[in-house]
Structure 1
Amino acid sequence: MSRREPQALDPAIVEQAIQWLVRVRFNQADEQTQRSFEHWLQQRPEHGLAWQRVETLGDDFEGVPAQLARQTLAGSRQGMRRRESLKLLGVLATVGTAAWLGRDYTPVPAMLAQQRSSTGERRRFQLDDGSLVQLNSDSAVDSEFDAQRRLIILRRGEIIVSVGADQRSHPARPLWVQSRDGLMQAHSSRFLVRERDDGTLVAAQEGSVTLFPGARQTPASRSVQAGDQLLFTSTGVRTLSDTGLDPWSWGDGVISARNMRLGDFIAELSRYRPGVLRCAEEVADRRVSGTFQLADNDQVLALIAQSLHLHVDYRTRYWVTVTAAS
């Protein structure tokens, strides 16, 4: 079956979307800017489609200075496909960003990764050794196998790995995962790795996963045992308090919460939809319990609003705020 190409868009509309991205994502947008942006989104269906493509690409430049983001994004008008992403390397190299590019984990490798998922998309694929990898929303990985080891590189987001038997190699090669915070060696048949702002979360269902914090392989510091989860950075490892979220539930297409703080629940749900999803401080400490289908997060918001007496304010599909019902 041939792969369907994305709908072609007028370059002028894509350019407008890029300009809006810089204004609302890389600058502090005031109320007037927000209203103007919402008006532009509603003018034509093509505006919403262009925004979806550009807004997803904009995640790759989170934390990049606005001027650099503007120059870089301007190089990606046509199509937003993998081959166009290669052009960004040339743009970045010409604007004095050697230090930024020199980091081990940058947005560019995530954009060029072998396997990627977009916002709201969950994918699975099989590696040559028989391992099954599940990608959560907005995630990216590469794999590098040789005669000595199997290596999965998490470029962004979250994965669940069901380890294959590696029948082509005798004995089976060790399986490693690399994140921006260090290395992990799997002694588990199924484990989870999630890149967070404060570190890399690792959980195991069977066996264990050994953690090696730091950019280079260092002595192992801790192991994650079956049924547990730990967070590690390049400098150390710490345990996590229970937020009420089942970290494995997305693998079954749901978000499962037990007495979870509403603010944390909305932040988790926001990973699965483009645009802005916010929770007002006045209701952030209310509690959510239940299992909700990720395929329709508008329905999830409606259910939460009904059960907790909330109001969901849709300024547009891409700008949603949860507040107290009047």
Structure 2
Amino acid sequence: MSKLAASAEPPAIREDVQQQAAEWLTVLMSSEVSEAQQAAWQRWRAADPEHERAWRHIEAVSRRFNGLHRSAAAQALAGTQRKAVNGKRRQVLAWLGVAAGGGLLAAQTGAWDAVRTVRADYRTATGERREVILDDGSVLSLNTGSAVNVRFDASRRLIELLAGEILVTSGHGAGSAAPLEVATREGVVRALGTRFAVRQHDGTSTVDVLESAVEISPRDGEGEPMRLAAGRGVAFSRHAPGAPHAIDASADGWSRGQLIVDDVTLGDFLADLARYRPGVIHCAPEVARLRLSGVFPLDDTQRILNMLPNSLPVQVRSRTRYWVSVEPAS
């Protein structure tokens, strides 16, 4: 093996695994953690090598936390969490970034983004949704696990999407002569008097236009911005947008507290549902390709899970409130 290959850094840990590891850390730091929760945590670690790698990073950072024993570090963090329970997962991620000193962990897990998320102007916890009216009358809706900074001045109206998903209805109040833009890690979306949704993924951003149109400018792209009309959606990287596609009428259902699906696989449905509740939803491969349609209330994710056996040949097993498995019916 060459020296170059030997010194190559391992790939970045997926964002969803980072979030799951942070959830488990907050669970284990609780003074009331049960044996069942401990067992569920061990099963999560064993379920995927990526899970174990994420957890080993957490342990490594814990050992470096000012030379404290892991339990002492956990107690220090738990004290800060009691001030803002809804933000506990993001506080954990922020703590990990600070403890790592912004070095290896920041490069591999995006801890700096988590620090910025904690300090965002507006944010939501897992399962929470929020609506904000901005100074120009624009309405900003934040989906679960989202965070934004808002920067308005005489020349620009900028919403910086740090994490998650937002729905923007542009306003026409004071200062609205300046362009309204949403910036993601991949580029900038400029509103053309419109209503649109933007979501931050790992390595890509997506836009769904519900009214009027937007212009999309990838950060490292060349040429003119891409114009996207109402009823269309697109994913874009830092370099270029993908092919536009038609969006369905339920694209903004989450803003009304609904998860609306039409002939999707159970695996994809549960992956989306998992965004709205802490912990892990495991889907057995034997049932992942089953398909379903319906309108589901996001304010009660447990009710959604309990309803699944009524329409599909599955059973839902809850080992703890943080570990749910959807498996073939007996």
**TM-score under structure 1 normalisation?**
0.73
What is the aligned residue count?
Answer: 275
Indicate yes or no: 2:195 matched with 1:194: no
Q: Partners in 1 of 2:149 and 2:313 — Cα distance?
A: 44
Per the TM alignment, residue 176 of structure 1 is displaced from its structure 2 partner at its CA by 0.6
Q: What percent identity do the matched residue pairs reach?
A: 35
Residue in 1 that maps onto 2:119: 112
Residue in 2 that maps onto 1:78: 79
Indicate yes or no: 2:290 matched with 1:286: yes
Alpha carbons 1:185, 1:210 under 8 Å: kept: yes
Corresponding residue to 1:248 among 230, 236, 252: 252
User: Structure 1 residues 290, 76: closer, same or farther in 2, change over 3 A?
Assistant: same
Alpha carbons 2:135, 2:174 under 8 Å: kept: no
Letter matched to residue 191 of structure 2: A
Which deviates more, 73-82 or 273-282?
A: 73-82
Letter matched to residue 25 of structure 1: A
Residue in 2 that maps onto 1:184: 189
Which deviates more, 286-295 or 91-100?
A: 91-100
Per the TM alignment, residue 91 of structure 1 is displaced from its structure 2 partner at its CA by 3.2
Matches within 5 A, 1:125-164: 125-164=132-171
Structure with more contact order per residue of length (Cα contacts < 8 Å, sep ≥ 6): 2
Per the TM alignment, residue 145 of structure 1 is displaced from its structure 2 partner at its CA by 0.8
Which deviates more, 281-290 or 188-197?
A: 188-197
Corresponding residue to 1:172 among 169, 177, 183: 177
Q: Partners in 2 of 1:239 and 1:231 — Cα distance?
A: 8
Residue in 2 that maps onto 1:232: 236
Indicate yes or no: 2:29 matched with 1:25: no
Which deviates more, 107-116 or 75-84?
A: 75-84
Q: Partners in 2 of 1:104 and 1:320 — Cα distance?
A: 27
Unaligned runs of 5+ in 1: 1-20, 27-36, 44-61
User: Structure 1 residues 260, 240: closer, same or farther in 2, change over 3 A?
Assistant: farther
Residue in 2 that maps onto 1:320: 324
Q: Partners in 1 of 2:293 and 2:80 — Cα distance?
A: 41
Q: Deviations over 1:244-294 (max 9, x none)?
A: 893311011000011111100010011000000111111111111011111
Residue in 2 that maps onto 1:222: 226
Corresponding residue to 1:271 among 268, 275, 281: 275
Alpha carbons 1:210, 1:220 under 8 Å: kept: no
Alpha carbons 2:61, 2:100 under 8 Å: kept: no
Letter matched to residue 79 of structure 1: T
Q: Deviations over 1:104-129 (max 9, x none)?
A: 97211011101110000111111111
Residue in 1 that maps onto 2:58: 66
Per the TM alignment, residue 240 of structure 1 is displaced from its structure 2 partner at its CA by 6.6
Q: Partners in 2 of 1:317 and 1:185 — Cα distance?
A: 41
Q: CA RMSD in A?
A: 3.6
Residue in 2 that maps onto 1:33: none
Per the TM alignment, residue 236 of structure 1 is displaced from its structure 2 partner at its CA by 1.4
Residue in 2 that maps onto 1:259: 263
User: Structure 1 residues 288, 244: closer, same or farther in 2, change over 3 A?
Assistant: farther
Alpha carbons 1:193, 1:203 under 8 Å: kept: yes
Q: Partners in 2 of 1:125 and 1:78 — Cα distance?
A: 29
Q: Partners in 2 of 1:63 and 1:206 — Cα distance?
A: 43
Unaligned runs of 5+ in 2: 1-16, 23-32, 40-53, 66-72
Matches within 5 A, 1:27-42: 39=35, 41=37
User: Structure 1 residues 95, 67: closer, same or farther in 2, change over 3 A?
Assistant: farther
Matches within 5 A, 1:203-222: 203-214=208-219, 219-222=223-226
Q: Partners in 2 of 1:193 and 1:154 — Cα distance?
A: 8
Q: Deviations over 1:173-203 (max 9, x none)?
A: 1101111111111114211001123510101
**TM-score under structure 2 normalisation?**
0.72
Q: Partners in 2 of 1:99 and 1:302 — Cα distance?
A: 39
Q: Partners in 1 of 2:307 and 2:157 — Cα distance?
A: 43
